[in-house]
Chains A and B, each alone.
Chain A
Amino acid sequence: MQTNNSQLFEQLHRQHYAMVHTVCMGFMKGEKELANDLSQEVFINIWNALEQFRNEAAYKTWIYRITVNTCLQYLRKERKIVKVTDETISLLQAPETADKNYKTLYTAIGQLNEIERLIIMMVLEEMPYNEISKIMGITETNLRVKIHRIKSTLKKILQHEE
């Protein structure tokens, strides 16, 4: 059983690492070190939840749910860390340490609140709206309203950037 799970986990890690890590990068506003930690946290949770997987959803949707929930959990831990060391404060506040290649992307989505950031990343991932609403557990109407609002905010942010 353990061997089967290990093989399955390694396969999921290989197939979905890029997706998870990109979400974590976006959530952490491009801070690579923090995103690496968060990605590891996501895969630890995936391993712990693997036995409960019931084939009710595709692996991608299931992993996305775990990723989003882990990001929101990490938020609480992150606030705790911020109080602990000055070094972490500078890490969280210093945009220059963020991945410079995608500065516009991370700066733009980094200005949204956490829920908005997670939703827009699923839109960028080109997930169908009904799937996003299933991950979030909100109605599609509510989701569409939120996406419309997020896109307007992003537009203002990007125009301001220019």
Chain B
Amino acid sequence: MKNEFEFLQKDWNSAKKETKANPEKASKIIGEAMARKKASIYFHYGNIMVLGAIAILILIYFLWLYPFEALLSKLGIGCMLLGLLVRIGGELISVRKFIKINIADTVIDNTIEWQQFLEFRKRMHGIFTIATIGLYTAGFFMLYPEIYKYFGSNILILLTGFYIIGAALLIRGIRPNIKKEMKDLEMITELKKELELV
């Protein structure tokens, strides 16, 4: 084995010797790294900003522009906002966990950090999503009696249609990412098992 391994070692050292660094590349990498960091910040805070904007729109629209009078409707708006706040809170925790992942940690620690992040994402796709959709939908339906009182059944049917189509599009849009994250979690768990295996 010694000879065979020595042969691989010789090849390894020659391959390394043949590789030369291109000094021009270093400054290009710095530029690319900075651009990616910026894009990553937008990506991670993008969801939070969209959800925050929806919450603000709901506040402006239903509380100031077209204020509801019935207590049930006000409770409904409260539920819708709470649903969004639950999601925003979850997304903030998720970003914090992602930022904590340290690429310079030991391989096992880095794997554990990824596993914890992806396990939290799994919870986000489970309990957090159910709570958000449940609260938001319940709140939305609580507005129905007052909408019916002033606008009639046609508007209600139209609103329900938009709500269902919107929900279907949203689910279709986020499904591939959920699948990918769950696959990543499976892989990370396998990797951790492999590392710990003696």
Which A positions have Cβ atoms within 8 angstroms of B? Answer: 6, 9-10, 13-14, 17-19, 21-22, 25-26, 40, 43-45, 47-49, 52-53, 62, 65-66, 68-70, 72-73, 75-76, 79-80, 99, 101-102, 104-105, 108-109, 113-115, 118, 121, 124-126, 134-138, 141-142, 145-146, 151-152, 154-155, 158-159
* Residues of B contacting A21 in the complex (Cβ-Cβ under 8 angstroms): 19
B187 within 8 A of A: yes
Chain B positions 1-47 with a Cβ under 8 Å from a chain A Cβ: 1, 4-5, 7-9, 11-12, 14-23, 25-27, 29-30, 32-33, 36-37
B153 within 8 A of A: no
A48 touches B20 (CB 8 A): no
* Residues of B contacting A137 in the complex (Cβ-Cβ under 8 angstroms): 105-109, 195
Please give the number of chain B residues whose Cβ is less than 8 angstroms from any Cβ of chain A in the complex. 46
Query: How far is A124 from B7 in the complex, measured between Cα atoms in Å?
Result: 10
| 7 cross-chain pairs, A with B, having the tightest CB-CB distances, nearest first | A137-B106, A137-B108, A17-B21, A105-B11, A18-B19, A124-B12, A13-B26
Q: 14 A-B Cβ contacts within 8 A?
A: A13-B21, A17-B22, A18-B19, A22-B16, A40-B29, A47-B29, A49-B102, A53-B104, A65-B103, A76-B187, A80-B180, A105-B8, A118-B107, A121-B12
Min Cβ gap B119→A in Å is 16
